[in-house]
Amino acid sequence: MSQDQIAARIVTTTQDAVIYADRDGTIRLWNVGAERIFGWSAEEALGERLDIIVPEKHRKPHWRGWYRVMDTGLTRYGADPLAVPGLRKDGSIVSLEFSITMLKDSQGTIEGIAAILRDVTKRWHRERELRGRVSELEAAQVQ
């Protein structure tokens, strides 16, 4: 099996979402992990804009940042995953961590961005509960 075949199988079957969108923000790759996390089938998501997974109140800043990256090739998202909310097909919100990779043509022009996203909703809720409990304990110590 070639490296390309192995890579394709990994992308296709991983439980993390792997999404690729072109310069205009149109979804061109949507794996089974994206289906699981967001609830849209590949057939439904392909050809749609990223708005289907970006909550309404985050769309303006998302697109401002997106087009700035397309114009400059610079992003503030480096090695550390970014934590953001995502929108599921049913309208519910999911907590995500993701990293991106810019894909460029031979002249260095960005063709699009690939993102690998992980659902961290359960961890986010656990951490929120722990922070609340720590606050309660600290308040009790003050008294």
- What CATH number does the domain containing 29 carry? 3.30.450.20
Of 134 and 113, more confident? 113
Q: What is the pLDDT of residue 105?
A: 94
Other C-beta atoms lying within 10 Å of the C-beta of residue 90: 7
Residues 125 and 113: their CA atoms lie apart, in Å, by 29
Of 8 and 36, more confident? 36
Q: Which residues constitute the domain of residue 74?
A: 3-142
Beta bridge partners of 20: 29, 114
> Looking at the predicted structure, is the pLDDT value of residue 130 above 70?
no
Phi then psi for residue 10, to 5 deg, are -65, -50
pLDDT band for position 40 (cuts 50, 70, 90): very high
Based on the structure, what is the number of domains in the chain? 1
pLDDT band for position 140 (cuts 50, 70, 90): confident
> Looking at the predicted structure, is the pLDDT value of residue 18 above 80?
yes
Q: What is the mean pLDDT of residues 17-23?
A: 97
